[in-house]
Amino acid sequence: MADGATVTRKFDIDAIRAEFPILSRDVNGKPLVYLDSAASAQKPQAVIDCFTNQMSHAYANVHRGLHTLANETTSAMEDAREDTRRFLNASDVHEIVFTKGATEGINLVANGIAAQIEPGDEIILSVMEHHANIIPWHFLRERHGAVLKWIPVLEDGQLDMDAYEAAFSDKTRFVAMTHMSNVLGTATDAKRIIDIAHARGVQVLLDGCQGAVHLTVDVQDLDVDFYVFAPHKLYGPSGVGVLYGKREALEALRPYQGGGEMIETVTMDGATYGEIPHKFEAGTPPILEIIALGAAIRWYEQFDRADVQRHEKALYERAFDAVRQINNLTVHGTAPEKGSVLTFSVDGAHPHDIAQILDKYGVAIRAGHHCAQPLMTHLGVSATARASFGIYNTAEEVDTFVEALSKTLRMLG
């Protein structure tokens, strides 16, 4: 558990599901089976109530006001920063930057290091990165002459660590790597990735959009320089992201955006910028979303993370054992250490058709390239189908999914 977090609840799947109002609805006359949490998770009543209560009783702009509502709202937002610090086990709340999303967090770091990038400097990525952890580095390739070096994955979806270690040269300047793949479910050996890079004086950013949900994250133990995650995948709101950075790493970055809040002084001749994290939080932040993020973290921290991980692993294994019996179906990503993401393709059946027909049975999955086109190319497919499991899913829902998938494939011939 993260420093300061306290387990207060026994893992009771029925009680958990009762806290998610949307799970009681029907879709196309069938009970909703929501298996798309890797894209965005549903929200518990605690998060929904947080929005309502904050808007109803204590909303104002933050930090600059002197009246009661401004002070109450500022306090609630900064409490959420402390919740986030605790969740990641950062050493200091000033190392927590709130952004408009995890994507913005990665762009913030890429923009911040751009001044240090010269033509020929190398940035190491893996082929299983989400586009959010690819395009900002392509900007540095296009605009500053950076060279992107791609690390392949092994047949089971594990990162090729030998290739990773061999990729470093005296021109390597940065590593940007997923903590857990949104397609393969692969949990990378993050600590080893970081140790190898640090031994060569290279900083590392981890994309934790899946890792923060399904793995236990301790940024101090990892010794990672930057870590981003998306609260909307952690049963929290969209429209907000988290960037953790070591104090010295953040202080070395130039500001990403200019405007109110991020300054210290402004004159007609120049400006000086605020201290971290505020120099990266220009303008009015997503106030309600940040406060609701705190509510999501506090809700999630009620449970023992090991209990949650066991539950999700059992769901994945139940689904995997069933679908691998289906003829012509290939599961992509079978690494020993992986999260609860089941990505598959079926010969002769387009993933979009599979997803659309499953929806008729009330089963929601994702289909497409999952914002991971380099990985699709590596796998030799244009798209895949993906069922992803969260804290609220059940064994019965897995069985419903498998039965509906079998019917769907029979219908598709």
What are the structural domains, with CATH classification, of the chain? Answer: 13-31+305-412 (3.90.1150.10), 49-300 (3.40.640.10)
Residue 296 CB contacts under 8 Å (≥ 6 apart), including other chains: 43, 44, 46, 47, 231, 234, 235, 236, 237
Residues in the chain: 413
When computed from its CA atoms, the radius of gyration of the chain, rounded to whole angstroms, is 22
Contact 185, 213 (CB under 8 A): no
- In DSSP terms, which residues pair with 33 in a beta bridge? 363
> Residue 241 phi/psi, 5° resolution?
-135, 165
Give CA 179 to chain center in angstroms. Answer: 9
Query: What is the spatial distance between Cα 34 and Cα 231, in angstroms, rounded to a whole number?
Result: 18
Give the pLDDT confidence score for residue 64 in this predicted structure.
Answer: 81
- In DSSP terms, which residues pair with 341 in a beta bridge? 388
In which residue ranges of the chain is pLDDT below 70? Answer: 1-5
To 10 degrees, what angle do helices 351-360 and 395-412 make?
120
Give the pLDDT confidence score for residue 94 in this predicted structure.
Answer: 98
Helix (H, G, I), strand (E, B) or coil at 112: helix
Query: What is the spatial distance between Cα 357 and Cα 355, in angstroms, rounded to a whole number?
Result: 6
Of 340, 332, 319, 331, residue with least CA distance to 153: 332
Neighbours of 63 (CB within 10 A): 16
Active site residue 209: no
* Bridge-based pairing state of the strands 203-207 and 172-178: parallel
- In DSSP terms, which residues pair with 159 in a beta bridge? 153
* Bridge-based pairing state of the strands 384-388 and 241-245: unpaired
Contact 189, 142 (CB under 8 A): no
Query: What is the spatial distance between Cα 12 and Cα 277, in angstroms, rounded to a whole number?
Result: 38
Give the pLDDT confidence score for residue 7 in this predicted structure.
Answer: 79
How open is the CA angle 105-109-110, to the nearest 5 degrees? 115
> Residue 178 phi/psi, 5° resolution?
-75, 145
Query: In 314-326, which positions are buried (b, 16+ CB within 10 angstroms) versus exposed (e)?
Result: ebbebbbebbeee
Give the H/E segment covering residue 318: helix 305-323
**Locus of tokens 């190491």:** 124
Which residue is catalytic, options 18, 371, 381, 383?
Answer: 371
Give the pLDDT confidence score for residue 1 in this predicted structure.
Answer: 44
What does pTM read for this prediction?
0.96
Give the pLDDT confidence score for residue 224 in this predicted structure.
Answer: 98
Contact 268, 305 (CB under 8 A): no
